[in-house]
Structure 1
Amino acid sequence: MKVTCMLGGSLRHLTLALSVIAVSMIPSTTTTTHGDEGMYLFNDLPRSLLQERYGFQPSDTWAEELRLASVRFNSGGSGSFVSSTGLVLTNHHVASDTLQKLSSEEHNLIKDGYLAKSHDEELKAPDLELNVLIEIEDVTDRINAAVTNTTNPDVSAKQRQGAIAAIESESLDQTGLRSDVVTLFGGARYHLYRYKKYTDVRLVWAPETAAAFFGGDADNFEYPRYNLDATLMRVYENGEPAKIDHFLRWSDTPVSDGDLIFVSGHPGRTQRIFTVEALEYLRDTRLPFVLDYLRRKEILFQQYQLEGNEASRRGRDELFGIQNARKAYTGMLAGLQDPQTIATRRGRQHRLITEASNNPQLRPLVSAWQEIAEIQKEKAAQLTRSVSLRSDLVQLAISILLLAKEDQKPNGDRLAEYTDASRESLLNRLTSPAPLYDDLQRVKLADEIALLLERRGMGDTLVQEVLAGRSPREVAAEIVDQSNLDDPEVRRQLIDGGVNAVLGSDDPAMRLARILEPEYRAYRAVDDQLSEREKQAYAKIAQVVTAIEGTGGYPDATFTLRLAFGTVKGYIENAAEIQPTTNFEGAFEHAAAHAGQDDFDLPESWMNAKDKIDLSTQLNFVSTADIIGGNSGSPVVNREGKLVGLIFDGNIQSLTSDYLYTDQQARAVSVSGVGIREALRTIYETESLANELGR
């Protein structure tokens, strides 16, 4: 699903900024899951359910091999090792952030694709980090013991964050592995995830956009599809291709209707057990607010791209992300606007509250629902108060300023993203050599300042300080033209110089960061307090659900590794039967049926190779697997653990999956593994790369 996730790159940063506060919700249970619903923890797999439903129970070895072959992209998405020499398979749209950063006016890798004919031609990504989950440790008791004050959200949040920072720092020191404490089941459980990091990642092959995003926006979130949304990268260690012990073998057999498949990936976030009031806030306030923002940015980037071919190239990745997010959020809102959605959830909520109210032990927990309702009102008041101007230069400046100041505090007192355990990944982003384009930066920053003015009004003290008698365009031009923060070496010197260098800098981007910082911290403090109160409330609701409906199931998504399962299966739409698979012949027929429409023009490489392609080869397929944004790039494997596909999208009916799973029409869309290999051999004429897959 192309609203990938949230951690790096233009689309990913945008999605994080717009996403609902990512509180992990209360557990679903085996009594309330439906069909093939479930994004299961790898340390709590649904073995009994799979045995009962499909006569299959994954062994420990099967699960471990799949876990260690699965990869998380910090640019927002998933992937997998597919060779012993470090090959990583993901989507073209997950890799697009890297493709954009590696492109230039002379070489447009997103549009034209890329193929390295040798290791020497593999292009190093400027700031990409891949994570492989090595182990999981339950640290719930330690964190709960540290939170001794549950009546004051400020105190409890500080205690909780201090305990989390200490655990992460100790783990990093002891193991050398990236260590992240993950909140699960609304705060009912905390797990420490340890990851091996790869930061030397190189581009091997990417198809043209015309192949990867064939059908364009018209076909996005639709099916049937005919996309080669795939890219291959390679991880290196010590300057050589990494030696990988755990990688996925490649299946030479296409999937068939009814086949059981599994998806191992990193779903970004879901809100399936949000209260009715939380969903109403999304429907009536949050999502309309987000959509207004996205439509504004879509027009802005469309206008910018009209300035010429180079502007079109520079703005392409962000415009794609904005348009994709706009379509996805439109589908989510439509689902919430269906009265039946809320009515169904209201019925379950009423039952839980009634049963809990009649139980003396559970009755004190019922107030949690009212607490969450009050929090939604406070969230609505916060919406227009954000001062996080979404401009690369300003974001870099604010991050450098906060890093310098947070470094002055004990590790446990810092903002979460500035702790010792997060430092290496943060520095990798802040010192990235990826290019920043002045013309695009001016356009983005001027619009962000104008939006700040529109939301707060000219009489606002902060607005007056930012403008200082100038227009938004004048402020943006001065900052972009005079700032040196586009130079990664300048950023590194500021970071190394510490708080004195940062506070003494006369760089205009740093001056703006210092103006924004007090308001940013005030906003962040309120946001963190709301998050802490919400976390405590949902933890109480978790106790009610567990007491009434039992235990089991899975927590909401947290951009951590999960296993989903389902079957290859078509569906009925508009009284027509949609077959579960497509092939190369269908792609050429689809192009011919839309002749004259640019988004349906297959690339020249495909047209030239048409006579060589086995047109009956499977290209895409759909399944009932439970996925969400962040699963993009996830491997799809069969019972034997062999790769049969690559998740790249969901159909339009799946866009309610943030808060409601259904398998009536909702489907996960994949590129077929046999289709990827056929394309490599016959279209891109790289037999050696095709043969390397799965070996």
Structure 2
Amino acid sequence: MRRLFSLALATLTMLTIPLQTFGDEGMYLFNDLPLEQLETRYDFSPTDNWADNLRLASVRFNSGGSGSFISSDGLVLTNHHVASDTLHKLSTPEKNLIDEGYLAKTPEQELKAPDLELNQLVSIEDVTDKVTAAVDENASIEEATKQRRAVMAKLEKESLDKTGFRSDVITLFGGATYHLYRYKKYTDVRLVWAPETKAAFFGGDADNFEYPRYCLDATIMRVYEDGKPAKLEHFLKWDSAGVAEGDLVFVSGNPGRTQRIFTVDALKYLRDSRLPYVLDYLRRKEIMLQQFGLEGTEETRRARDELFGVQNSRKAYTGMLAGLQDPATIAAKQERETALRSAIASDPSLSDAEQAFVEISEVQGEKKKMLGETVSLRSRLFDLALTLVLRAAEDEKPNEERLREFTEAGRESLVQDLLSEAPIYSDLERVKLADELARLLEIRGAEDALVQEVLDGKGPRERAAELVSGTQLQEISVRKTLLEGDQETVANSDDAMIKLARMMEDEYRRIRSINEQLDERERQAYSEIQSAISKVQGNSGYPDATFTLRLAFGAVKGYQEDGKSIAPTTNFQGAFEHEQSHAGQKDFDLPESWQEAKDKLNLDAQLNFVCTADIIGGNSGSPVVNRKGELVGLIFDGNIQSLTSDYLYTDQQARAVSVAGPGILEALRSIYGAESLADSIGR
């Protein structure tokens, strides 16, 4: 199961394109589909109507993940682990929706998510000329960063004012191309059905990123407009027959990030510095959350969702690092890079591209120096405080000069997050903040002036307790007052967490400015490399992932592992056999509802399957459709061999793992007694 982890994602944002494609490789833009490849490889030519319906039936979750509309009255299908953030926020000590599951038997029982936003991509506009024209080619890196930020904010604001849609300028091909994406937002999203964790995450951490799998990692929600279920023109019909080996399938989702044209030096930085740093952080957080959960049942529930995300990320990044530590990975990338640089060297007009490789190498050294340079204390209360402090200052500036997340185009989403009704648990906040303060002390040293000011003569635990008890940001009304106030309102606040954020603001801005300038240097360098690639090899067809909508394709296909043939599909019978073969291991205990329904279940119904489609984190919840555009599955994972896909695609063993459409329907009807819900799907 893959969910985007914001710490790592925020620092791996320089996204470009692969040098050439192999097999079913590719995460394609919907305005530049791989028509020739599909025709040549699979004798399939998608029509405009086919592509438009799939695009408009696909949605992005602001919590990190993908989904799809599956009925004309607003039903949305995604993963249980994508929905777990919402399930956690809707849970109480008396009702743990993550573990116990949920079924709304009537519309009145559908539970409103406190802060969930779904984005439907309605249009794409190429604004490359407008962005590049606004950045002076002779500008310093600092000025180029400001100019690029300004024109992007201007374009987004103009689009928002003109259309009313959320408008995001997306950087593609390393800065060689810019597209304006317009999204219709759905902010009234309600929970309809979720299975138990024992079904959704059957096999636990042991089976995570493995195959065969037997998981019902699915959840159904519904979008509302004006207090009523939304009426949708575009949604996915449902195929109930199941898939067969060799079937062509498509994945429409929002892959988070890939680094397939990263230079060898950039990959070595990830291998030797960045990923080990991230893994150390994840292991630390995992232990902290586990220890908190040991204090009691309620503490376990409160920490569960965040702990799952950390554990999942830890396993994913362990696999990514292992892929980079395999000499064959770097050797393969080195071979491609050497060939490209040889072609560049033979053409004097491409001398800037060769210098770009040198520039990227130098940037990696500076990035290494910046590791650990952070004052972001990752607790919900501090995040709220810092956002409110920054917002007050940014609102004093013209829209074009603000930090990206504080421009007018993103204001509604910002407000929705700040005023979320999701519970904040003070005991968990104290533990998280104490650990972050201790980490700040370890990184910067006890004699650091900022550390001394932040700790105020106290130890991390004592100071964290003082800060949490001295803030009122748990109250929505307090956050609303600060949000609606001006810079003076925030400056005069006596709230302890606001004071801490103001104390950290200057250092936060200093570090952020340095990182943004490093990003700009990389952006300009990779843009030069992209131009050289286009001249030497032609357009390779797709940019690296940017957590925006893409189309991937592949075949339902098994593989060989350890001398064994791995079949592409599994069924309910296999789930019960898997449970029996792991008797005594609690992560392999199917829920009671499954045991009670076993006699009436169609045990031959498909439950999971694999295909060769090119996916990555962020594709969780993506619909899998057939040639007719009918839903046949739901992406929820990749196998362990796919974890190198961030850098290098292969379909020898790497596979995308899906919940099968027939399995979802069978479970709804035979296990959960949700016949009416099953009947409404695809209609």
TM-score where L is the length of structure 2? 0.99
Q: Distance in 2 between matches of 1:101 and 1:91?
A: 16
What is the match of residue 2 of structure 2?
3
Aligned partners of 2:295 and 2:261: how far apart in 1?
Answer: 46
Residue by residue, what CA displacement relative to the aligned partner does 1:31-77 show, whole Å, maximum 9, x if unpaired?
Answer: x2111000000000001110010000100000000000000000100
Q: Does 1:385 align with 2:373?
A: yes
Q: State the distance in 1 between where 2:125 and 2:12 align.
A: 21
Letter of the 2:401 counterpart: D
Secondary structure of 2:635's partner?
strand
> Counterpart in 2 of 1:50?
38
Letter in 2 for 1:88: V
Partner of 1:636: 624
Q: Aligned partner of 2:18: which letter?
A: S
- 8 Å CA contact 1:22–1:558 kept in 2: the answer is no
1:255-296: per-residue Cα shift (whole Å, max 9, x none)? 001100000000000000000000000000000001111111
- 2:209 corresponds in structure 1 to 221
Secondary structure, in 3 states, of the residue corresponding to 1:657?
helix
Q: Return the alpha-carbon distance in structure 1 between the equivalents of residues 642 and 340 of structure 2.
A: 27
Deviation of the 1:151 alpha carbon: 4.2
Deviation of residue 499 (structure 1)?
1.2
Given that 1:264 and 1:636 are in contact with CA atoms closer than 8 Å, whether structure 2 keeps it comes out as yes
Partner SS, residue 88 of structure 1: strand
- The structural deviation recorded for 1:354 is 2.2
Secondary structure in structure 1 of the residue aligned to 2:570? strand
Specify the alignment match of 1:313 in structure 2. 301
> Following superposition of structure 1 onto structure 2, how do residues 35-184 of structure 1 map, counting pairs within 5 Å?
35-184=23-172
Matching residue's letter, 2:487: V
Matched, 1:485 2:473: yes
Q: What is the DSSP-based 3-state SS (H/G/I as helix, E as strand, rest coil) of the residue aligned with 1:263?
A: strand
SS at match of 2:272: helix
Q: Equivalent residue of 1:28, what SS?
A: coil
What is the DSSP-based 3-state SS (H/G/I as helix, E as strand, rest coil) of the residue aligned with 1:234? strand
Residue of structure 2 in register with 1:297 after alignment: 285
Give the corresponding residue for 1:467: 455
Residue equivalent to 2:15: 25
- Give per-residue Cα distances to partners, 1:399-451, cap 9 Å, x unaligned: 00000100000001000000000111011001101000011000000000000
Structure 1 residue runs without a partner (length 5+): 6-14
1:244 and 2:244 matched: no
Cα offset, 1:552, TM superposition: 3.5
Tell me if the contact between 1:92 and 1:212 (Cα under 8 Å) persists in the aligned partners.
Answer: yes
Aligned-pair CA distance for 1:20: 5.9
Distance 2:92 2:130 in 1: 50
> Shift of the alpha carbon at 1:24?
4.7
User: Of 350, 356, 366, which residue of structure 1 is paired with 2:354?
Assistant: 366
CA-CA distance at 1:348 after TM superposition: 1.6
Look up the match of 2:417.
Answer: 429
Deviation at 1:22?
Answer: 4.1
Contact 2:3 2:309 (C-alpha < 8 Å) held by counterparts: no
Segment of structure 1 superposing worse, 591-600 or 558-567 = 591-600
AA aligned to 1:461 is A
| Aligned counterpart, 1:578 | 566
- The answer for the alignment partner of 2:514 in structure 1 is 526
SS of corresponding position for 1:26:
coil
Q: Deviation digits for residues 653-679 of structure 1, max 9, x if unmatched?
A: 000011110000000000000000000
Tell me the residue number matched to 1:9. Answer: none
Q: Is the 8 A contact 1:606 1:683 kept in 2?
A: yes
How many residues are matched? 683
Give how far 1:386 is off: 0.6
| Equivalent residue in structure 1 for 2:179, among 186, 191, 198 | 191
Percent identity, aligned pairs only, is 64
Distance 1:112 1:145 in 2: 55
Tell whether the 8 Å contact from 1:24 to 1:557 is kept in structure 2 after alignment: no
Confirm or deny: 8 A CA contact 2:15 2:257 kept in the other structure. no
Whole-angstrom distance in 1 between the partners of 2:476 and 2:220: 27
TM-score norm. by structure 1 comes to: 0.97
Q: 2:488 aligns with which of 479, 487, 500?
A: 500
- CA distance in structure 2 between the partners assigned to 1:20 and 1:257 by the alignment: 38
- 1:253-268 paired onto structure 2 within 5 Å: 253-268=241-256
* CA distance in structure 2 between the partners assigned to 1:560 and 1:543 by the alignment: 22
* 147-156 or 192-201, which deviates more: 147-156
Q: In the alignment, which residue of structure 1 is the partner of 2:436?
A: 448
Structure 2 unaligned spans of 5+: none
Shift of 1:4: 2.0
Residue pair 1:268, 1:631 contacting (<8 A) in 2 also: yes
Cα RMSD, aligned residues only: 0.9
Q: Is the 8 A contact 1:73 1:129 kept in 2?
A: yes
Residue 544 of structure 1, CA deviation: 1.2
SS of 2:657's partner is strand
Larger CA deviation: 146-155 vs 466-475: 146-155
Label 1:40 to 1:126 Cα distance change in 2 as closer, same or farther (>3 A): same
Q: Which amino acid aligns with 2:367?
A: K
CA distance in structure 2 between the aligned counterparts of 1:331 and 1:467, rounded to whole angstroms: 37
C-alpha offsets along residues 70-94 of structure 1, whole Å, 9 cap, x if unaligned?
0000010000000000000000000
